[in-house]
Amino acid sequence: MLRRKLIVLGLVTTFIIAAVGCGKKEQAKEKPKPKIEIAPDYYTKEADIPDDTYCIAHKLKDKNVVYYPLLKTASMGEVEDAPVGAVATRFFVLNKNEKKLPTMYPGDKLIYKNGNALPDHFIWEKFYDAQYSIGIAGLTADTNNKPIYQVDNENTFLDETSNARKMKKIIQLAKQRNDDDAYVILNQLSYKKEVYPLDSSHLNSTGFIAGLDKDKTYTVETRLGTEKQDIKITSNTHFFTEAETYLAKGYDFLTDEVIRVNTPTYLTTGYYEINGAGAFRYLRTEKTFENIPLSEYNKTIYTYATGSNTPIGTADGLMIDENGYLTEYIENTKETQEEQDKDIVDNDGAYDDLGDDEANELEQERMKGLTDEDIQKNTVD
């Protein structure tokens, strides 16, 4: 009997231990992983801002001010110190760091800190949101119209924050085999059972493959000569290509530490860099950057001479002066005077270049607020 009780007690103890052990395993499985929040970097004091740094100063609800530095990005191309239109070889990319991009909201200030010198002018670059692709750019077409990555072309680009960096091994192999004129052919993409043969029509002016779906992982078929090598690359590189460049000047000494850069009133909502210091999102009137249409982000302002990439002014009537700055055209030339004359009443109370209906409406506007005596004096018999 005693032996039997011991066996039963042993079994019960085993079940208890097993149950406790299972509970521990289940508890371990259910333990949530800590979330890593990605957000723009910031400083809470002007004194902490490094020298030669641009920041967006944003006032919080509690009246405290935080300072978001512009985001350093992987980019290509030189900053043009002149008013120009789109430059295909000038772009920057975002990837895992996209949530670190600061936003300049209405009411925010763009500030600059430098204990040594100040810029005599500011170069504002607006960038198109060119959407997502695999992280390879600067592709050109060979004589058979196939996209190629030319190893020694200074305009080629690999986003090394993405898995496009897998291309590096193939590029190095191409250079070992043909040091003088090394290149890699990108023959086709495939996703599951879908196959997409590539040609130059799939490349945009910046030389990346356009029209890919965000976050899809494609099998990229590359060729070294006839030799095929497949690599998997995800379409998660966000491209921003230069749309327009504006020159502007003016600043105010805001505090003992920083200046406020005067923000041009003609800027439209979109993505910008200033003096090549880093990228930021600018909202002209919107209170949130969520759900803004792509067309709104990509609005431009310049007008151009026929067949030229050199801007001559804006659709709103601003002109580019001899120093490259956008300004109101107020010089009293014969042409502008003629335009002004259309809005001036002549001695007979008529309006040049206006039909009778328009003249009557404008005359009524002019006479608003006049007394009967004033009207009698101004009436033509």
The per-residue pLDDT for range 129-169, each reduced to its tens digit, is: 999 999 999 999 999 999 999 999 999 999 999 999 999 99
Alpha-carbon gap, residue 222 to 229, rounded angstroms: 5
**Number of structural domains found in the chain:** 3
Residues 123 and 245 in one domain: yes
Mean pLDDT of 346-354: 36
Secondary structure of residue 338 in the 3-state scheme: helix
How high is the pLDDT of residue 29?
A: 58
Provide the token pair at 141: 């077409």
Instruction: Encode pLDDT of 269-279 as tens digits.
Output: 999 999 999 99
CB 239 within 8 A of CB 130: yes
Residues 127 and 152 in one domain: no
Residue 329 lies in a domain: no
Residue 39 lies in a domain: no
Residue 8 lies in a domain: no
Q: Lowest mean pLDDT of 29-33, 64-68, 103-107, name the range.
A: 29-33
- The reported pTM is 0.77
- pLDDT over 50 (residue 208): yes
Last-in-domain residue among 188, 207, 234? 234
How high is the pLDDT of residue 256?
A: 95
Residues 147 and 205 in one domain: yes
Residues 245 and 298 in one domain: yes
Residues 141 and 229 in one domain: yes
Residue 123 lies in a domain: yes
Per-residue pLDDT band at 210 (split at 50, 70, 90): very high
Per-residue pLDDT band at 308 (split at 50, 70, 90): confident
Per-residue pLDDT band at 28 (split at 50, 70, 90): low
Residues 156 and 293 in one domain: no
CA distances from 14 to 20, 22, 25, 26, 28 (A): 10, 12, 16, 18, 21
Provide the token pair at 289: 């950057």
Domain extent, residue 343, equals 334-378
Q: What is the mean pLDDT of the chain?
A: 83
